Amino acid sequence: MWGDQLVAWQNVGVKAAILVESLTGNTWKAAEKTADLLAQERWSITGLSKVKQPDLTSIQEADLVLIGTWVHGAFVFGQAPWAINNIANLPAMRGKKAAAFCTFALHPGKALDRLTMAVGDTGAYVVGGLAISRSKLDEHSEIFAERLVGSLTTA
Ligand SMILES: Cc1cc2nc3c(=O)[nH]c(=O)nc-3n(C[C@H](O)[C@H](O)[C@H](O)COP(=O)(O)O)c2cc1C
């Protein structure tokens, strides 16, 4: 009987909100793929919305907020996450856990570090992040989801 109860508790997954900034759809695809994989791990996705029009209710309901954007720069220098100011100004993030991801074409440079700092500036506790190559969206989304599940179940 206690065993059954334990299984029931373990099945109550993490609640995650996802916020995305995407110009040509790669980051949105990575977000959807990651959301599917997390749902398979019994996480609930409270919402998938745009960084510039965030679904605030989905953030409030979430334990963890995933924030994704794309790398903008001159490909070999000056890489930065797009919409970084919108990210730093997100409300309702204090007390939440967060993770960042950015999609890129050739080289992400320091974009992930900059994104991670912006996410940290919201007051959220950043548990991790990943730069996702646009030519390996599926593979890298799987790695991202696996790491999230690993870090939140061992934390
Ligand atoms: C104006 C512009 C600048 C870019 N600069 C870089 C760059 O410096 N380094 C890089 O690896 N990718 C760069 N990219 C590629 C994008 O980061 C990549 O295609 C990303 O997956 C786009 O995401 P999205 O489809 O969600 O908009 C650039 C794309 C654009 C449109």
Residue 4, pLDDT score = 53
Q: Is residue 51 part of a domain?
A: yes
Whether ligand 1 lies within 6 angstroms of the CB of 22 is answered as yes
Listed range (4-8, 97-101, 150-154) with the worst mean pLDDT: 4-8
Q: Is residue 6 part of a domain?
A: no
**Which of 21, 27, 28, 75 is the pocket-test mutation for ligand 1 (most atoms within 8 Å of CB)?**
75
Rounded Cα distance, 83 and 8, in Å: 40
Q: Is residue 90 part of a domain?
A: yes
Whether ligand 1 lies within 6 angstroms of the CB of 73 is answered as yes
Q: Is residue 4 part of a domain?
A: no
Rounded Cα distance, 42 and 153, in Å: 12
Q: What percent of the chain has pLDDT over 70?
A: 91
Residue 108 CA: nearest ligand 1 atom is 11
Whether ligand 1 lies within 6 angstroms of the CB of 69 is answered as no
- Is the pLDDT score of 9 beyond 50? no
Q: Provide the residue range defining the domain that includes 73.
A: 11-154
- Is the pLDDT score of 153 beyond 80? no
Counted domains in the chain: 1
Closest of 95, 80, 89 to residue 51, by C-alpha: 89
- Is the pLDDT score of 140 beyond 80? yes
